Amino acid sequence: MHNNFSKHEAFLDDIIINYDSKGEDYGNQKRNSLKLFKLNDKTLNVKSFRIPNVINQIAYRFFRKSKAQRSFEYAKQLQSLNVGTPQPIAYYEFKTLFLFKKSYYISEHLECDLTYRELIHDFNYPDYNTILRAFTRFTFNLHEKGIKFLDHSPGNTLIKKTENGYDFFLVDLNRMEFKQLGFEERMKNFARLSKYREMVEIMSDEYAKSYNKPYKEVFDLMWKEVQVFRNKHEGKQRLKKRLKFWKK
């Protein structure tokens, strides 16, 4: 639990104990459940991770940190590096003697103006080019600070408009690496962000300026990584359709 919220421990305990019957559902509930709770003038965002399969129940019980613990610790590490993320508050874990069961991550709820996803669906979004270039500089700064956000995908960056431009905040933090990043790893980190060539051209141009590399070298590798990812993704989707067909 974050030191700043230790005085609210009883309230946080009650949230988790009564999670199923209290709170307000928020967002997509398919993979993991998200709920909002009020704490004085703050809104808390509570993510309930589903119970893993039996193999992972053993792994998380004895060998690996849970998604909730990693989310909490990575959020604190991002804050120490002056990278935007909703304020981490606490994480909870429930275990048996040999198995890992439920876990929860609590953070402050952050209201945003948009996410990166809006840029994919609306090329006429106001200030589009400025936002996309600012996002690219934000990603470059992550890389410069040794942050490899493995879930760098359209819904996982919240964007807030400010007087001076745009601020960016990372969410869904349980998959990250902290290390020095080479050129190929940096370009691969853009692979899941857009399938549209015109977006990749803009991001390549802005990244090349920040990284002091030729535009063509940046674009060629970034676009290659996008295509590799898209081919794998589309192959998996075709396989899923075939499996569904045979199940019918």
Helix axes 197-211, 128-144, angle to 10 degrees: 50
Strands of 165-170's sheet in order across: 114-115, 157-162, 165-170
Share of the chain above pLDDT 90, in %: 79
Tens digit of each residue's pLDDT (9 = 90 or more) over 150-182: 999 998 999 999 998 999 999 999 999 999 999
Identify the pLDDT of residue 242. 64
Identify the pLDDT of residue 29. 62
Q: Which two tokens stand for residue 244?
A: 């569904």
**Over 70: is that where the pLDDT of 244 sits?**
no
Longest dimension (CA), the chain: 56
Annotated domain spans of the chain: 3-108, 114-236
Question: Could you tell me if 35 and 23 are in contact, meaning their C-beta atoms sit under 8 angstroms apart?
Answer: yes
Domain 114-236 has CATH 1.10.510: yes
Q: Which two tokens stand for residue 191?
A: 């692979």
Residue 27 banded pLDDT, cuts 50, 70, 90: confident
Superfamily, domain 3-108: Phosphorylase Kinase; domain 1 (3.30.200.20)
**Over 90: is that where the pLDDT of 55 sits?**
yes
Q: What is the DSSP letter of 87?
A: P
Q: Which two tokens stand for residue 31?
A: 């993979």
From the list 82, 75, 205, the residue with the least C-alpha distance to 137 is: 205
pTM, 2 dp: 0.88
Least confident of 7-21, 22-36, 77-91, 198-212: 22-36
Tens digit of each residue's pLDDT (9 = 90 or more) over 67-98: 999 999 999 999 999 999 999 999 999 999 99
Say how many C-beta atoms besides its own lie within 10 A of residue 195's C-beta. Answer: 15
CA angle 230, 235, 238 (to 5 degrees): 125
Tens digit of each residue's pLDDT (9 = 90 or more) over 177-221: 999 999 999 999 999 999 999 999 999 999 999 999 999 999 999
Question: Could you tell me if 200 and 222 are in contact, meaning their C-beta atoms sit under 8 angstroms apart?
Answer: yes
List of residues 6+ apart from 187 with CB closer than 8 A:
218, 221, 222, 224, 225
